[in-house]
Structure 1
Amino acid sequence: MISISVPRQCPCQPGSIECGYYMLKFMREIVDEGVEILANNNVGRRKDEYTDDDIDGVREEWSNFVSNFIFR
């Protein structure tokens, strides 16, 4: 079997439960940087995985949004 190394185009989740956070972080980067980030293959700034701090940022932004929506 021949193995071909393909550079990652975005960070890949390490397990099976982080998909929502990875999707939200991916979408946030597109919103912040513009769709050009997809053409440049620079989503996640070429990280293999998002860090715990990256995921915590998604959690915080999401919880703030939901809290403001509920308690407005």
Structure 2
Amino acid sequence: MCKQSIYNCIFYRMCSAFRSYKRLGGQSKGTKLTWIPAQCAQQPGSLDCGYYVMRFMYDIIMNHGNSQDLTKDFSRTLPYSAEEINEVKDFWADYFMNNVEFLA
């Protein structure tokens, strides 16, 4: 278990993996990773965390797939509206109703 903050643990492991990947490709030295902390909507409570994650993934795919400026595109910190969260709930419910066979 990493005794540092979770951010530092992830940072160290990602940098290590990147260096290993470069070495496997025959490059002894490579450019260092530049970390840009992404911002995301901050949830006000603890009940909708899964929906916040799904909404953030949805936003990435639908709105930022061809992003040229991650700092600008991922700068939202305001909570999602109830309408935005309900949209994810509706997508998820619709998917299950149309694609999952229920045992009766």
Same fold (TM over 0.5): yes
Q: How far did residue 35 of structure 1 move?
A: 5.8
Task: Report how many aligned residue pairs link the two structures.
Answer: 63
* Residue 36 (structure 1) aligned with residue 67 (structure 2): yes
Letter in 2 for 1:70: V
The match for 1:3 is: none
* Residue 61 (structure 1) aligned with residue 91 (structure 2): yes
Say whether the 8 Å CA contact 1:30–1:38 is kept in structure 2. no
**Identity over aligned pairs, percent:** 32
Structure 2 residue runs of 5 or longer lacking an equivalent are: 1-37
Structure with larger RCO (C-alpha < 8 A, sep 6+): 1
Which of 30, 36, 51 is the matching residue for 2:81?
51
User: How far does the alpha carbon of each residue in 1:28-53 deviate from its partner, in whole angstroms, 9 at most, with x for none?
Assistant: 0111121628713434x735100000
TM-score by length of 1: 0.72
CA distance 1:37–1:21, change in 2 (3 Å): farther
- Name the structure with the higher helix share: 1
TM-score by length of 2: 0.52
Letter in 1 for 2:39: Q
> Larger radius of gyration, structure 1 or 2?
2
CA distance 1:12–1:60, change in 2 (3 Å): same
